[in-house]
Amino acid sequence: MAIVQLQNVSKAYDTKVAVDDLSFEIAPGSMFGLLGPNGSGKTSSIRMMIGMTLPDTGLVSLFGQPFDRKSVYRVGYLPEERGLYKKMKVIDQLIFLGQLHGLDAVTASKRAHGWCEKMEITEAIPKKTEELSKGMQQKIQFIAALLHEPELIIMDEPFSGLDPVNAALLQNTLLDLNRQGRTVLFSTHRMDQVEKLCDTICLIHRGRKVLAGEMQEIKARYPKNRVEMVFEGDPGFLNHPVVESAKNYNGMAEIRLREGGDAQLLLADAVSKARITRFEVMEPTLEEIFIETVGDRVDA
Amino acid sequence: MRNIWLIAKREYLERVRTRAFLISTLLIPLLMGGGIVVSVMGTSKTKSTSRITIVSRDQLLAVDLQKELEHSKGSEMTVDVISPGNSTTRATLDSMLADRQIDGYLWITPGAQPNERPAFSYTPRSAGDIATKATITTALRTVLMREQLAHDGMVANEVDSLMQPVKVDTTQAGKNADTTSSFVAIYVLFFLMYMVILLYGMNVARSIIEEKTSRVFEILLATITPEEMMAGKVIGVGSVGLTQVAVWLLTAILLTSGSWLQAVAGQSAHISLSAAQIVYFVVFFLLGYLLYSSIAAALGAMVNSEQELQQLNMFLVMPLAGCMFALGPVISNPSSPVSRVISLIPFCTPLIMYLRISLAPPPAWEIGLSIFLMVVTIYGILWCASRIYRVGILMYGKRPNLSEIMRWLKYS
């Protein structure tokens, strides 16, 4: 049973097509990345998953059933555009949002305190929201999405605006939750941020799916044709026949191999001419894959 | 239902807890009470306690007038009589005026012919003391009339009974209620509704705009429907207004029903209403308030800022003002077809139907139908408002024009 299933979903606003015949599935317990540039239809897709809008055509299923309002209590959602009641105290706010997700006030309060401790913002509990820093407010929203212990956690651009320490804190929390069996959906245009986190991805562009599947499998589909190396000595080996192009930044080189070119041959040649401190065959990044794929589509 | 309740509760508590609410709730009754006390004291003050002097050659007339001014219902003055005055009197009185020993003097010059009216000239210390002058004029008229009647041979008793004020009782067929009090209740309802809608209806709109600008709706709409949110807002923000109005009305009732007021004012300041009238008053006030709050919610859903809201303000007030024009025809003929039709238009129902109930009770089915129509309209407006709201914020984030709104209502 898929936690989320979109079948041929389309959504247009007036003349603009936001989502175009999109289909994908999210398996239980996965870390799913919904990736694409700005305006590619990520948020529109998410809104249809939780019933904020309905698809023009196609079918959305949640937890193995066609969408039903009752299932929204099993979903935790962190929207991209963050907003909290400015004049409300943090704890009242969390209790209110917890209650909206079906909790009673006592449970909501207890869990809110627990989460604030975990997120290292206990000092914010009695304060009004407007007194908090942006990062803190973001953590509050993060907590609000998790208070009711949802089975499906949807995070729209969760790390934007956070410093590296706090981003890591959020990442680790999400990884913990995932280990406990929760399904997590990331939506972001910063592909480098979720590359390590996601096990499954769906890349969309202009409302259409361009690439989907397990991360490892997708990456395996693309050749490892990039080499990064650090060396001392004669850079003559950079003219080796397997090299298609190379950039040399004073002993630090970025090399692109010809199709079918063997990195081992290059390494052997390099060792004979220079001292090698580092030699790494790089995996293609999601961004490269995306650009390559979308570029292909555009050419086609 | 639970969601509506949660939203309403939050809106209510957040607003009631503010200092502004506390201050305005307490301040207005204080001002109101203060105003009543001041005006009551003012009325007793106008029951003039001035000290005046009457100068007249006709001693009988002067003494009669003195009695009338010192002991009649309308005045409690201190009056001295100089009869007759001599050549230095005027100068003496003028200096007394200047020394503030008297508030004014009345100089009576007898007519040249025996049957001619004397001439009266009042010299007040301050030209602004109109009340004393008015009291003197009234007293003079009474005294002169009494004198004339007595002169014509009428006995004093007869004169007094003839000059009693006339009292007319109005009775409505079937009941003894005073129709004037119905009119008073209508005007109270009208101005209450007008004021409350102006003061609080816009708060509903504002609170919806606030949610839009703060983007809180993104989280809220993940679990609740826009309909629930609209309903919760209207109920929550509306209750704040009702709380305040209830506090004010209670204060007003306490103040006006206090026996001290009647003792001081001496007039029948109370309003008598039947139990049914009070029930209808509450029902129609609440329904009217809900209806207009829903319109405010719809306006709030259409705009993105308070400035834009100002421009749409009139849509809230216009229907209510329209009712004002209907008041006349309905009062003169509450059961005419025109009155019946107007009273069934939901925007007019709260005022016009209540007016009809007070004047000439319409058949029960008409009352029932009017209430039903109002409820349906409220629901319909809220439904449209939540549509506009959802489509507006989720898809465009701009202020729609009319054709766009019509199109949005069809979106899912």
Which structure tokens are listed for B327?
A: 């008041």
Percent with pLDDT over 70 in chain A: 98
Residue range(s) in chain B whose domain bears CATH number 3.40.190.10: 48-162
Q: Which of B13, B17, B215, B218 to mutate to test the interface with A (most CBs of A within 10 A)?
A: B218
Q: Check A100 against B225: CB less than 8 A apart.
A: no
| Residue numbers in A near B227 (CB within 8 A) | none
The pTM for the full model equals: 0.73
The pLDDT value recorded for residue B400 is 66
Most confident of A209-218, B132-141, B255-264: A209-218
The pLDDT value recorded for residue B257 is 62
The pLDDT value recorded for residue B174 is 45
Q: Check B219 against A77: CB less than 8 A apart.
A: yes
A39: left (phi over 0), alpha (psi -120 to 50) or beta: left
Least confidently predicted of A12-26, B288-302, B311-325: B311-325
HSE (CB half, 13 Å, CA atoms) of A291? 5
Q: Please check whether residue A60 is in contact with residue A6, taking contact to mean a CB–CB distance below 8 angstroms.
A: yes
| pLDDT tens-place string over residues A233-251 | 888 888 888 888 888 888 8
The pLDDT value recorded for residue B399 is 62
The pLDDT value recorded for residue A98 is 93
Q: Check B395 against A77: CB less than 8 A apart.
A: no
B168: left (phi over 0), alpha (psi -120 to 50) or beta: beta
The pLDDT value recorded for residue A77 is 93
Nearest by CB to residue B14, choosing from A50, A87, A101, is A87
The pLDDT value recorded for residue A23 is 92
| Residue numbers in A near B209 (CB within 8 A) | none
Least confidently predicted of A203-207, B74-78, B182-186, B198-202: B182-186
Check CB contact of A70 with chain B, cutoff 8 Å: no
Strand B104-109 with A226-233, pairing: unpaired
Q: Does A123 score more than 80 pLDDT?
A: yes
Comparing CA positions, the residue from B198, B222, B197, B217 lying closest to residue B207 is B217
Give the separation between CA B238 and CA A150, rounded to whole angstroms. 34
Q: Does A173 score more than 80 pLDDT?
A: yes
Q: Does B47 score more than 50 pLDDT?
A: yes
How many residues make up chain A in this entry? 300
What does the buried/exposed string (b/e) look like for A215-245 if buried means 16 or more CB atoms within 10 Å of the residue's CB? beebbeeeeebbbebebeeebebbebebbee
Which structure tokens are listed for B141?
A: 């008229």
Which structure tokens are listed for B52?
A: 């005046």
Q: How far is CA B146 from the centre of its chain?
A: 39
Show Cβ contacts of residue A72 under 8 Å, excluding neighbours closer than 6 positions: A50, A51, B222, B223
Q: Does B383 score more than 60 pLDDT?
A: yes
Check CB contact of A48 with chain B, cutoff 8 Å: no
Nearest by CB to residue A144, choosing from B219, B224, B412, is B219
B170 pLDDT band (50/70/90 cuts)?
A: low
The pLDDT value recorded for residue B258 is 57
Q: Check B10 against A72: CB less than 8 A apart.
A: no
For residue A233, give the H/E element and its range: strand A226-233
pLDDT, mean of residues B85-95: 81
- Cα–Cα distance list, A274 to A230, A252, A254, A263 (Å): 10, 12, 16, 16
The whole-angstrom distance between B7's CA and the closest CA on chain A is 9
Taking all residues of chain B, what is their mean pLDDT, rounded to a whole number? Answer: 78
The pLDDT value recorded for residue A104 is 92
Spell out where A36-102 has E strands.
57-62, 65-66, 75-78
B253 pLDDT band (50/70/90 cuts)?
A: confident
Torsion angle of the four alpha carbons A142, A145, A146, A150, in this order, in degrees rounded to the nearest 10: -150
The pLDDT value recorded for residue A144 is 92
| Residue numbers in A near B222 (CB within 8 A) | 50, 52, 72, 75, 77, 79
The whole-angstrom distance between B276's CA and the closest CA on chain A is 40
The pLDDT value recorded for residue B45 is 52
The whole-angstrom distance between A116's CA and the closest CA on chain B is 19
Least confidently predicted of A193-207, A256-270, A277-291, B167-181: B167-181
| Residue numbers in B near A101 (CB within 8 A) | 223
Kindly tell me the burial class for residue B73, based on how many C-beta atoms sit within 10 Å of its own C-beta (0-12, 13-18, 19 or more).
exposed
pLDDT, mean of residues B240-251: 82
The whole-angstrom distance between B319's CA and the closest CA on chain A is 33
Nearest by CB to residue B218, choosing from A53, A83, A101, is A83
Q: How many CB pairs under 8 A join A and B?
A: 56
| Residue numbers in B near A97 (CB within 8 A) | 219
Strand order from edge to edge, sheet including A65-66: A16-26, A4-13, A57-62, A65-66
| pLDDT tens-place string over residues B203-236 | 888 888 888 888 888 888 888 888 888 889 889 9
How many residues make up chain B in this entry? 412
Comparing alpha-carbon positions, the chain B residue that sits nearest to A129 is: B214
Percent with pLDDT over 90 in chain B: 5
Q: Check B394 against A52: CB less than 8 A apart.
A: yes
B134 pLDDT band (50/70/90 cuts)?
A: confident
Q: Is the preceding peptide bond at A158 cis, omega within 30 degrees of 0?
A: no
HEC states along B174-211?
A: CECCCHHHHHHHHHHHHHHHHHHHHHHHHHHHHHHHHH
Nearest by CB to residue B412, choosing from A13, A50, A54, is A54
Q: Which of A49, A69, A96, A157 to mutate to test the interface with B (most CBs of B within 10 A)?
A: A96
Check CB contact of A86 with chain B, cutoff 8 Å: yes
Q: Does A274 score more than 60 pLDDT?
A: yes
| pLDDT tens-place string over residues A61-103 | 999 888 888 888 899 999 988 888 888 899 999 999 999 998 9
Q: Does B42 score more than 60 pLDDT?
A: yes
- Cα–Cα distance list, B247 to A4, B25, B33 (Å): 52, 7, 13
The pLDDT value recorded for residue B396 is 57
Which structure tokens are listed for A232?
A: 């001392």
Least confidently predicted of A146-160, A176-190, B91-105: B91-105
Which structure tokens are listed for B33?
A: 């009470």
pLDDT, mean of residues A275-289: 85
Q: Does A51 score more than 60 pLDDT?
A: yes
Q: How far is CA A294 from the centre of its chain?
A: 18
Q: Does A149 score more than 70 pLDDT?
A: yes
Check CB contact of A141 with chain B, cutoff 8 Å: yes
Comparing alpha-carbon positions, the chain B residue that sits nearest to A70 is: B223
| Residue numbers in B near A53 (CB within 8 A) | 390, 394-395, 412
SS3 content of chain A, % helix, strand, coil (to 5): 40, 30, 30
Which residues in B have their CB inside 8 Å of a CB on A?
A: 3, 6, 10, 14, 214-225, 390, 394-396, 412
Q: Does A300 score more than 50 pLDDT?
A: no
| Residue numbers in B near A144 (CB within 8 A) | 219
B257 or B247, greater pLDDT: B247
Q: Does B189 score more than 80 pLDDT?
A: no
The pLDDT value recorded for residue B153 is 78
B336 or B176, greater pLDDT: B336
Nearest by CB to residue A100, choosing from B14, B220, B394, is B220
The whole-angstrom distance between A95's CA and the closest CA on chain B is 11
Nearest by CB to residue A52, choosing from B3, B214, B221, is B221
| pLDDT tens-place string over residues B263-277 | 555 444 445 556 777
| Residue numbers in A near B223 (CB within 8 A) | 72-73, 100-101
For the segment(s) B48-162, the CATH number from 3.90.1150.10, 3.50.50.60, 3.40.190.10, 2.60.40.1180 is 3.40.190.10
The pLDDT value recorded for residue B115 is 72
Domains within chain A, CATH numbers bracketed: 4-220 (3.40.50.300), 223-283 (no CATH)
The whole-angstrom distance between A268's CA and the closest CA on chain B is 58
pLDDT, mean of residues B369-375: 93
Taking all residues of chain A, what is their mean pLDDT, rounded to a whole number? Answer: 87
pLDDT, mean of residues B69-98: 78
Q: Please check whether residue B370 is in contact with residue B344, taking contact to mean a CB–CB distance below 8 angstroms.
A: yes
